[in-house]
């Protein structure tokens, strides 16, 4: 699988570390019930198709990226610095 880094260009995925779901829920408030924490820490969607994810370019520029990847065929649909929000047009907002 290849990922395009907005700073370094097209690179093999082995240069990156997966950072998880970019659309992860907000952390529960202090004192929230255990069920809220279990949901936050362990439960994730497992979509088929476009999915917003965080990737860290560990062997490159060492920047966090926000990537939209098609989980069916691993095509990268969008890649940008993590500080930028994903825009319209890809069906993903995160
Ligand atoms: Zn990079």
Taking Cα atoms as reference points, which of 26, 25, 27, 8 lies closest to residue 79? 8
Is residue 88 pLDDT above 60, yes or no? no
Q: 5 CA to middle of ligand 1, Å?
A: 5
Q: 12 CA to middle of ligand 1, Å?
A: 11
Taking Cα atoms as reference points, which of 43, 94, 44, 46 lies closest to residue 71? 46
2-24+37-81 CATH, one of 3.40.50.150, 3.30.300.30, 3.30.2270.10, 3.40.50.2300? 3.30.2270.10
Query: In the beta sheet, which residues pair with residue 51?
Result: 69
Q: 7 CA to middle of ligand 1, Å?
A: 5
pTM of the predicted structure, to 2 decimals: 0.76
pLDDT tens digits, one per residue of 52-62: 999 999 999 99
Q: 62 CA to middle of ligand 1, Å?
A: 6
Domain positions in the chain are 2-24+37-81
In the structure, what pLDDT confidence band is assigned to residue 84 with cuts at 50, 70 and 90? confident
**Per-residue pLDDT at 24:** 66
Helices (H), 3-66: 34-42
pLDDT tens digits, one per residue of 15-58: 999 998 887 667 899 999 999 899 888 888 888 999 999 999 99
């Amino acid at each position: 699988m290849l990922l395009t880094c907005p700073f370094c260009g097209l690179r093999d995925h082995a240069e990156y570390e997966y950072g998880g779901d970019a659309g992860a829920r907000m952390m529960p408030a202090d004192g929230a019930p255990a069920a809220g924490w279990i949901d936050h820490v362990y439960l994730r969607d497992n979509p088929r198709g476009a999915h917003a994810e965080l990737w860290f370019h560990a062997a490159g520029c060492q920047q966090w990226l926000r990537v939209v990847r098609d989980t069916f065929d691993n095509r990268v649909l969008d890649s940008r610095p993590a500080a930028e929000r994903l825009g319209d047009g890809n069906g993903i907002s995160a």
